[in-house]
Structure 1
Amino acid sequence: MEFRVLGPVELWHAGKQVEIGATRQRDLLALLLARPGTPVDRDWLIDALWDGAPPPAARTTLQSCVYRLRKVFEAHADVTLSTRGSSYLLEIPPDSVDARRFDQLAEVGLQTMAISPSAAVPQLRAATALWRGEAFGNITLHAIRDHARRLDERRLDLVEQCLAVELELGHTTAVLGELKALAAAHPLRERPAELLMKAQYRAGRRADALATYQQLFRRLDRELGVRPSQSARELHQRILASAPDLDSAAVSPSFDAPLPRQLPGGIGDFVGRTDSLGRLDRLLDAEADRVVLATISGPPGVGKTTLAVHWARQVMHRFPDGQLYTNLRGFDPSGQVMDPSEVVRGFLAAMRVPPERIPADVDAQIGLYRSLLAGKRMLIVLDNARDAGQVRALLPGSGAAGSVAIVTSRSSLTGLVAGESAQAIMLEPFETGDAWQLLTSRIGEDRIAAEPDAAADVLSHCAGLPLAVAIVAARTTAHPTFPLESVAADLRLSRGLDGFASTDANADVRSVFSWSYGRLSPAAARLFRLLGAHPGPDVGLAAVASLAGLTPSEALRLMVELCDAQLANEIVAGRYRLHDLLRTYAGELSEAADSVEERDASVGRLLDHYLQAGIAAASLSAPYGWSPPFHDPVPEVVAERFETLGDAMTWFDRERQTLQRIVEYAVRLGRVRAACELAWHLGKFFDRRGRWHDYVELQAFLLEEAEQFGEPDLLAFEHAAYGRALGRVDLNDEGRWHLERAYELCGKLGDLVGQSRCRRALGWIAERESDLRTAFEETKLAVELSRRATESPLTVASTAELLSALGWCYALQGDYRSALDCCRQAVPVLQQHQYQDAEAHAWDTMGHAHHQLGQYADALACYDRALLMLRRLGDAFAQADTLVRIGATHVAAGMPAKADLARKEALDILDGLDSSDAERLRTKLRDLSKVS
């Protein structure tokens, strides 16, 4: 199959055009062709296909389009459209896309140009001949147009370069008409006008050349309010003066001059970095009137040099005066950092300055260097800089408008960003799709296809770091008969970073990391080592301070140093991430350098930090919930601050993965009680976000650990937590068994509050099974047990909560007056104790009772109070549940339009939940829709 995007999007096979299908299918194919070989997120596709305003049935329409495209591709084994999690992946042979063939032909032509301009012309012509119009010409989606414009710009650059070569080769008559058409098609672009002026002059049409300049001058002045560039103005003056060097017979092709071309060779299998390449392209287009400076920074081994060189080679044809490159060795195993004066002398030699003309004084050398750059368009790549000070002397002066300097460094080079207005590009490790593509390109598709699971295992150990993938790929390629599973097994069994070791220091992950670590201050080095113990994907500043026993200001100062060294990355303000392999490296360093006592103390502070945060967050909605006793926090723990429940919910959403890992981590360290405490306090957040299966798995793990731990109160508590979690996923029989076991253990301990909570949970399970009599009896017993407990703020608030639950049980049995009576008794107590969670459910129950009594205005007033509180609490499922009842009340009150709004809002919430409870609510909504 042949995919054509250099013009209208088309699909061809065996010389015949293949019908793609409806417009939406063609748009989907275009979006996938813009990112071939890369998983494309389903939600992003939906947003892109409808330009940010998808209809309710968008997901279904997308799935239908995917199905139909697969039908188009099904006869072609080398084309697949597969599902990867929540993404779609279009895999096609690279040469089957005309844009890829254009890139290849253009690259070969531009490389040939430096050696033989005449030999380059056919290749450049072949590249431009692939175009049939504007790229993606029949696609109007916003998500495609930026990509298409970059392709169109590259084509135009190449056409200009090709015509310039032909003009210098003396083909004036042949290119004159083409240049005239090009200048007319792009009236505000100066390069075609300049070439046309030169061709007209050489063809003996001096007056036409002067008229072309006047037209350009008027258009730029009228449309943009600017004058032509210095280059165009100088050409105009030379035409007026009939300068002899404009005569084609007197001009030798400048393309064959010995210009500096120092760029290293690129790699043939460059993958990914589409966004970064696009940013660099846009900088080049937007800043042609001044010197452009960009920095590329990122952690060790992330591919900064690879990106810089690859992009530089792609655009080198736009710098006719040459390209300079140097490795500044800012982070190098030799430790011999390049002095800027040494680099300047090397650049002067590359620009053919005789040794005797190079001044002895360093400042004079720099002055000469910048003077030679003035008026030229040059590309300068300064690789592996240590800091901004090493770079400043090497930057072009203001007279080199149109020149570009790219600086790569492990340092963030904030001095260049702040002082020289550099555009900063930060590289992250590869996403899975790009890492997969790199491994495939290195070891071959056949080996990947034969063992896809082993390949995925290998990549999981590499954690997206391009250097790690390259090391493993090189080792795999060196042993073509070894199965990939054996490589994966070696990585699983290797200690720390042993699986990425190499005799070449530049290709050894530990060595590469060490060059950055060795430049840290002692305090920052200690913090980096301790961060290896943090089990989450990222970490907040308060947790960093607790881990290291620092104040927040001390922790912030050291994290700035780590981020500047690219050993950590600030993903949002006050939140940091360490790459998985860097975390492994930090752990190795800590094991070697820090005492067991210091490591244990740091982990203890970290666990207590999260435990305190969990308690503080949970207490904002359920301050009197039953929980096991917890210990006093250790010193030097920095607390999280939550002003509102919304803050607490945001914290939970951000920390969820870390919290689950912290619980497991605490168990591994023998702190089972702390793990159970933290998990219990997090239960409300799992509940509100509808993550019930996650919570079941977590509590099953903790119950097993509590049984081995052997403390009766903790075991009773875990049986109760696990039993209620099982009820949430409809494993009711098993849930009842664990709750009865918890009730029995609480009885032996004399814990009436615990017994009360167990009976209420059993009543709640009975209610879910529509056994309303049992639900009522169990909840009534729970109230009695709570009232018998020693009076305290906990038992008073808990009794009020249970009284509200009893009111709901009355309502389910049709006794709406008793339901209202129970809730009216409960609400003032709940308000007094700021027990918002229970109060919201009491208002919801009263709303339901008023509805059933035909008191619709009172029902809606109660529901509104409940909904307001539930939104504040972030309880997604309860909001949907209340909205369903609000819709039913609107229907009963003869307000179908308002019922529709409530139903829509409920459905939007339920779409994000995955449980039988959510499905039951969807069924209620469908029934309600039929009634209305």
Structure 2
Amino acid sequence: MERIDGFFREGAQRIVISGSPGVGKTALAVYWSHRVGERFPDGSLFANLRGYDPSGDPARPADLLDAFLRALGVPPSIIPDSLEARAALFRSRLAEKRVLLMLDNAASAEQVRPLLPSSPGCLVVVTSRNQLSGLVAMEGASRLSLEPLTSPESQLLLRRMIGGERAEREPAALAELARSCAYLPLALRIAAERVSRRPHLELADLVTELAAESSRLDLLATGDDVEPTAVRAVFSWSYRALAPEAARVFRLLGLHAGTEISASAAAALAGTSSTSRADIARLLASLVNVHLLEELAPARYRFHDLLRVYASNLVTELEPELERRAAGQRGLAWYLHTARAANLAITPAWHELALEGAPPLDPTTFPDRDSALAWCHTEHGNIVAATRQAREWGMFAFAWKLPIVFWDYFHLTKSWAPWLASHREGLAAARELGDRHAEAWLLYNIGHALYDLHRHRDARDHFTQSLNLRRDRGDNLGEAWSTYSLGLVDQAQGETNDAVARYRRAKRYFDQVGDSLGRALCMTALGDAYREQGCHDEAIDQLRHGLDLFRALGHSHGEGYVMDKLAVAFHEAGHLADAHDHYQEALELHRRSGNQQGEASGLNGLGQLLDATGDHMAARSMWRDALMILDHLGDPRAADVRQCLARTRGAS
């Protein structure tokens, strides 16, 4: 702590904390960062660079920069694609700011370098097993090579955990126990917990047990082992003391792809009918109690990276391949079925989808939309990881269906980064599987993300590919959806006549197959296109038909969407009172359904109406609220609202 404080006082802008696995790099960096956090009024950014993740997939600097830029309020639509351009934009956004960045578990200087700001007011703290000499030599970083604790320090830590009286009785055994743990804090804490649970045994006997375990592992060690022998010995010593059920759960957790896991997902991996929620909670608690697992929040857990590697190795060594695959399928099936249940609670299903895998033994249910949304907020990172894992395991049907069942959440919350990442993984899986139906569906969903981001040329390309695939397969319903969406692109690019022709063609398909949702969307789109052509009576008539269909479906999201379009049509037709009422009703529907983008649209529309009637102050208030939402979403429509505010600046 004194050394790092010294670096800070001397004006260091980059600090590297290096050291062996389990030595406490992250704990030290986090503790110190919290102490100085108030010195950085513009905030802090944290990222796990996953440099030594057992998946072998370290975080990519371009992805980290994308996340940082979004956290800094940069709209996704203006985040460039190349690493170099993102790094430049990141540096410009941090210019003149005081921000603390913590980059944990870096693999190399090359991984870190694009993430470094140029502002002298920013501080970067990096942890790594690597010395990162390139950052010291080329970037002027100050480095602290964190050594294991000294023998007296290690003994003090053990004494505090196992009790001073017991430690004083056997000082030689205490010193030997500290040495056997290589003086590493992680190993010391796990060993101390193991000792404290056996108060009837002499320390010397327990040290002898640990020494025997270390000797056994020395015989099995290979040059590829990641953990130091002492750490592996402590892990193994504690692991072998677990009850068989707890040991099995620990091993199976090594199959989980994400960085965190819930108790319900762990139960799915375990997969035995006797494992109730109370049972799995008890088993996970036993792992937490011996420091083999960390509880982040109630019923939510995380491994230390070394323990994750250890569990991953154990499950490969001790579980037959058929059981590993069965457990993996159970975990993926749990995510697939639970994601489907959550998204059904958020919005009605757009289409039925046959799900892979047997329903989970203890399925998660959602009593309301809020609980479903909360689950999706927490789990969307795991959904992306599970999609990638399913593809790597060759379980391609899981890989393409997981992103599709999560689409309602992505679409509602405009979570474009995980939306695109998961769907692109799913698309690759569908192509490896040779499933043209799945490929067309994923291309279509990707197209909608690109359309939302105003990348209309790319959206058209994806919609056209999906249309061609569906047409080749004779999928009339799919063809109708792709045709409708190409109409949206036409309209966005000012080709309103072409859009009307597509909407009419798609509606004929939807009429033939009796798809009420498709009909409702086509009627809404036609009404909006008629409005753009100046045919307000026809527009209002079509939009009212669309509204009736959405109401019959109980689709509040769609109801709010068409209500917005009706308000605009009434406004342009000069029916201002009707326009005001419809905007207000649309706002209420958007808020009820959790549609933030729709809420911003309603606020913007009300602002336009109030501005037109001369109430400029009220209009600006609406626009400010809309802009706050759009900036939070990173929605490109924020630029239009900014123009409205700029145009009316100074108006009273």
Give me the TM-score of the superposition, normalised by structure 1. 0.49
Instruction: Select the residue among 407, 427, 430 that pairs with 1:683.
Output: 407
Which of the pair has the greater relative contact order for Cα pairs under 8 Å at 6+ separation?
2
Aligned match of 1:715: 439
Question: Counterpart of 2:323 in 1: which secondary structure?
Answer: helix
CA contact (8 A) 1:528 1:562 kept: yes
Instruction: Verify the 8 A CA contact 1:545 1:555 in the aligned structure 2.
Output: yes
Contact 1:860–1:889, Cα closer than 8 Å, also in 2: yes
Give the drift of 1:581. 2.4
Q: 1:548 to 1:308 in 2, by over 3 A?
A: farther
Q: How far off its partner does 1:589 sit? A: 0.6
CA contact (8 A) 2:587 2:602 kept: yes
Query: Structure 1 residue aligned with 2:227, among 485, 492, 500?
Result: 500
Matching residue within 289, 304, 307 for 1:582: 307
Q: How does 1:107-146 map to 2 (within 5 A)?
A: none
Partner of 1:519: 241
Partner of 2:558: 838
Q: 1:534 aligns with which of 253, 256, 259?
A: 256
Aligned residue among 384, 396, 404 for 1:672: 396
Q: Aligned partners of 1:682, 1:65: CA distance in 2, in Å? A: 39
Report how far residue 592 of structure 1 moved: 1.3
The equivalent residue for 1:728 is: 452
Rounded to whole Å, the distance in 2 between the matches of 1:86 and 1:882 is 42
Partner residue of 1:510 out of 232, 242, 245: 232
Counterpart of 2:281 (choices 556, 560, 584) is 556
Percent identical among aligned pairs is 26
Query: After the TM superposition, which residues 250-399 of structure 1 pair with which residues of structure 2 at under 5 Å, given as runs?
Result: 309=153, 325=156, 327=158, 342-343=166-167, 345=169, 384-386=192-194
Aligned pairs for 1:455-854 within 5 A: 498-502=225-229, 505=230, 509-549=231-271, 550-626=275-351, 629-631=353-355, 633-789=357-513, 791=514, 795-854=515-574
Counterpart CA distance in 1 for 2:152 and 2:598 is 52
Describe the shift of the 1:60–1:725 C-alpha distance in structure 2 as closer, same or farther (beyond 3 A). closer
**Structure 2 matches for 1:431-446, cutoff 5 A?**
none
| Cα distance in 2 between the residues matched to 1:518 and 1:568 | 15
In structure 2, what residue type is equivalent to 1:513? Answer: F
Distance 2:640 2:225 in 1: 52
Say if 1:683 and 1:868 are closer, same or farther in 2 by CA, change over 3 A: same
Q: 1:38 to 1:861 in 2, by over 3 A?
A: closer
AA matched with 2:192: N
* C-alpha contact 2:381 2:418 (8 A) present in aligned 1: no
Describe the superposition over 1:750-777 as per-residue Cα deviations: whole angstroms up to 9, x where unpaired: 3222111101110111222222222222
Q: In structure 1, what residue type is equivalent to 2:588?
A: L
Per the TM alignment, residue 538 of structure 1 is displaced from its structure 2 partner at its CA by 0.8
- Distance in 1, Cα, partners of 2:119 & 2:396: 34
The 2-side partners of 1:716 and 1:808 are apart by 27
Deviation at 1:36, TM superposition (A): 6.7
CA RMSD in angstroms comes to: 4.3
1:730-751 residue CA offsets vs partner (Å, 9 max, x unmatched)? 4433432332232233234332
1:902 counterpart residue number: 622
Aligned in 2, Cα 1:520/1:714: closer, same or farther, shift over 3 Å? same
Q: Is the 8 A contact 2:329 2:357 kept in 1?
A: no
Question: Secondary structure in 2 aligned to 1:533?
Answer: coil
CA 1:43/1:777 → structure 2, altered by over 3 Å: closer, same or farther? farther
Contact 2:190/2:291, CA 8 A, preserved across alignment: no
Any conservation in 2 of the 1:547–1:603 contact (CA below 8 Å)?
Answer: yes
Structure 1's 544 and 385: CA in aligned 2 closer, same or farther, altered over 3 A? closer
CA contact (8 A) 1:524 1:562 kept: yes
Give the partner amino acid of 1:682.
F
Residue type at the aligned position of 2:448:
R
SS at match of 1:912: helix
Counterpart residue type for residue 830 of structure 1? F
Q: Offset of 1:64 from its aligned partner?
A: 6.9
Question: d(CA) in 2 for partners of 1:65 and 1:874?
Answer: 36
> In the TM superposition, what are the counterparts of 1:92-171 in structure 2 within 5 Å?
none
**C-alpha distance after superposition, 1:669-690 (max 9, x if no partner):** 2222222222123233233333
Deviation at 1:341, TM superposition (A): 5.9
Query: Counterpart of 1:593 in structure 2: which amino acid?
Result: L
Cα distance, 1:879–1:34 mapped onto 2, change above 3 Å = closer
Q: Distance in 1 between matches of 2:287 and 2:9?
A: 50
Q: Say if 1:607 and 1:662, in contact at 8 Å, map to a contact too.
A: yes
Q: Separation in 1 of the partners of 2:466 and 2:293?
A: 45
What is the distance in 1 between the residues matched to 2:648 and 2:556? Answer: 29
SS at match of 2:578: helix
Secondary structure, counterpart of 2:122 in structure 1: strand
Report the equivalent of 1:88. 122
Return the alpha-carbon distance in structure 2 between the equivalents of residues 513 and 85 of structure 1.
Answer: 43
Instruction: Compute the displacement of 1:89 (Å).
Output: 0.1
Could you tell me which amino acid in structure 2 is paired with residue 89 of structure 1? L
TM-aligned CA distance change 1:309 to 1:928, over 3 Å: farther
Q: Distance in 1 between matches of 2:604 and 2:152?
A: 56
What TM-score do the two structures reach when normalised by structure 2? Answer: 0.68
Unaligned runs of 5+ in 1: 13-31, 46-55, 69-80, 92-267, 272-300, 311-323, 331-337, 348-380, 393-493
Q: Distance in 1 between matches of 2:361 and 2:593?
A: 27
Spell out the pairing of 1:163-182 with structure 2 (5 A cutoff): none
SS at match of 2:406: helix
Answer yes or no: is the 8 Å Cα contact 1:42–1:86 preserved in 2: no
* Contact 2:41/2:98 (<8 A) preserved: no
Q: Secondary structure at the match of 1:570?
A: strand
Greater mean deviation of Cα atoms: 36-45 or 773-782? 36-45
Instruction: Please report how far the alpha carbon of residue 807 of structure 1 lies from its aligned counterpart in structure 2 after TM superposition.
Output: 2.1
- Over residues 28-84 of structure 1, what are the superposed CA-to-partner deviations in whole Å (9 max), with x where a residue is unaligned? xxxx99967999583359xxxxxxxxxx9xx9999675499xxxxxxxxxxxx9639
CA drift at 1:910? 2.2
d(CA) in 2 for partners of 1:383 and 1:631?
44
Deviation at 1:878, TM superposition (A): 2.7
Aligned to 1:43: 43
> Structure 1 residues 523-532 or 731-740, which shifts more?
731-740
Task: Return closer, same or farther for 1:344/1:671 CA change in 2, 3 Å cut-off.
Answer: closer
Give the secondary-structure state (helix, strand or coil) at the position aligned to 2:632.
Answer: coil
CA distance in 1 between counterparts of 2:527 and 2:622 reads 25
Shift of 1:566: 1.6
Tell me, in whole angstroms, the C-alpha distance in 2 between the residues paired with 1:41 and 1:685. 33
CA apart distance, 1:831: 2.3
Asked if 2 retains the 8 angstrom alpha-carbon contact of 1:763 and 1:779, the reply is yes
Distance of 2:536 and 2:150 partners within structure 1: 72
Q: Deviations over 1:605-638 (max 9, x none)?
A: 11111111222222234424146x3236415443
Unmatched runs of 5 consecutive residues or more in structure 2: 12-31, 46-72, 74-89, 100-114, 126-142, 172-188, 201-220
Question: Aligned partner of 1:751: which letter?
Answer: D
Task: State the alpha-carbon separation in 2 of the partners of residues 697 and 345 from structure 1.
Answer: 58
Q: Secondary structure at the match of 1:498?
A: coil
Distance 1:663 1:743 in 2: 25
